[in-house]
Amino acid sequence: MAFLVSGTLRVAAQMADARESLRRKGKYNLQGPRVALTLSSPEVSASIVAVLEGVFQTLGFQSCQRRKASVQDFHGELTRFREQLDAHGGPVGCALVALVAPSGQLQQLRPLVWELSHCGALRGCPKIFLLLSSIPGAAPKPGAFLSGLSELCGRCPHWSLLQLLTEVFCRTTEEYAGATYCPVLRSSLRGALCLGDVEPWGPEPEPSPITQYDLSGTKAALLLAVIRGRSGAQHDVKALGGLCQALGFKTTLRTNPTAQAFQEELAQFREQLDTHRGPVSCALVALMAHGGPQGQLLGADGQEVQPEALVQELSRCRALRGCPKIFLLQACRGGHRDAGMGPTALPWFWRWLQAPPATPSHADILQVYVNAQGSSSRDLTPGSSNQADILTVYAAAEGCVAYRDEKGSDFIQTLVEVLRTAPQGDLLELLTEVNRQVCELDVLGPDCDERRKACLEIHSSLRHRLCLQA
C-alpha cells in the first residue's frame, strides 16, 4: 500500500510539474531522456539514415534506435517501441520518430501516430514524427531539408522547433509549373518546444526582421459563417470581425452561405484580390459551419463542400504569390468525443493533489512531411496542399467534434483573446498558446454528461515569421 501511495504521489508530482511549466512559461520542460527511432524501408539509402542520426544527436537525443522494415511492418515496430518506453519505469522527456520510405508508400499514417500518442510514458510530452519520402533512383545523398535542419539545430539551439522548421522550409522551397511548393507541418503542440541544449526558461533573442513576411500592403479577410442552427455562432462572427478590424484587415462577411456559395465567395474573393490596385500582403479566410463525418463543411442548405477545395481556390491567387494565406476552420471533423488521457483512479485523491486535467489524446504531436532528397515535395502530404505560405487551423483534431455553446466556440473566442493580448507576436507561437488554453478546458457536450476534451490541429507551410501587427 505504501508503494502504491508513493508511486501515485510521484506520478502526480510529475504531471503537476509538466502542467505548471506549460502554464507558467508556455514551454515544454523536457524532463527525462529524449529517445529517437528511425524506421526505414530496405530501399532507403544508408546515408540518409546516417544524417538523421546526426540530427538526433545534435538535438540532444540520448537514445537513437535504427530499424529496417517494410512499410507494412512499421506499425508493429512502433508498438514494440511504445511498449519499451512504457516499461522504462520513469518519465520520458520527448520522442522523435523518423519514418523513411519511397514516395507514395507513407499513406496510412494515422494509425502510426495514434500508436505513439497512447504511450503512457509520453503523456503530456511532445511526440515528433518526421515523415520522409525518398525518390526511387534519386541520388542517395540527403537533400536540403535534412542538411539545413542539421546545420540550424547546431547553430540556433535557442530557437523553438517551429521556428527552425519555418526557416528550413524557406530554404527548401521549390518552384514547379508556376507554383511554389515546400514541406508541411501539422502541429497540436501546447507549448514552445526547444530541443537545443539551453535553459528551457531562458529568453529567446529576437529574430532578424528579414525573416518576417512583409505586411505593408493590403490585408484582406473573408468571413463565411453559417449562423442558422448554430447556437453562439453570432458571437464568434462579432468577435472575429472585431479582431480583423483591429488588426487592419479589410473584412467581408457573408452569413448562411450554401455549399455552392462557399465556393463562389472564395472565387470572387480571389478575383477581387487579383484585380486590386496596389500590393496585397495577406489574406485571412474564416470558415464557420457544421461539419460532416469526414471533415466536410456543410452549407446552410445541408450540402457538402470540401475545405481543401477552398484552400486550393485561394492558393491560385496571383496577388498572393509568396504571401501568407490563413484559413480558420470552426467546424466538426467527425463525431468522436475525446475523453482525453489522464488519471482515472482515486479521483478525490487527484483533486486533493491538484493534479492537471486530462490531456486531449491528440495533443503534443508534431508531424513534418518532407522529401528526404530535396527534390520536388509535391504530393507528400496525403489529403492536403503542399503549396507554400499556407496556414490552416482546425478547431478539432481529425475525426473529432469541435465544441461551441451559446457564448461561442472555444477556438474562436480563445483565439481572439490571445491575439488581442499580443498582436505583435509570431502567429505560429500564438496559435500554440491558443491550443494550450483550449486543451485545458473541460467541455460538456449537449448530448453527453461526461467531460470531454478538444485540441486544435495546425497545418503550416509558412516560410517566414508571420506577425499580423507591426
Q: Which residues are catalytic?
A: 290, 332
| Integer CA distances (angstroms), 299 to 201, 226, 307, in order | 46, 7, 11
DSSP letter (8 states) at residue 196: S
CB 18 within 8 A of CB 124: yes
**Got the DSSP string for 82-145?**
HHHHHTT-S---EEEEEEEEETT-----HHHHHHHHT-GGGTTS-EEEEEEEE-TTS-SS--HH
CA dihedral (14, 19, 22, 27) in degrees, to 10, reads: 30
The residues near 177 (Cβ < 8 Å, ≥ 6 apart) are none
> In 3-state terms, what secondary structure has residue 365?
strand
**Under 8 Å between Cβ of 95 and 68:** no
Please say whether the beta carbons of 201 and 194 come within 8 A: no
For residue 349 the three cell numbers come to: 485523491
SS3 2: helix
Among residues 256, 260, 332, the alpha carbon closest in space to that of 295 is found at 332
The residues facing 290 across adjacent strands are 298
Cβ within 8 Å of residue 273, ≥6 positions away? 220, 280, 283, 317, 319, 320
Grid look-up 478575383 returns: 271
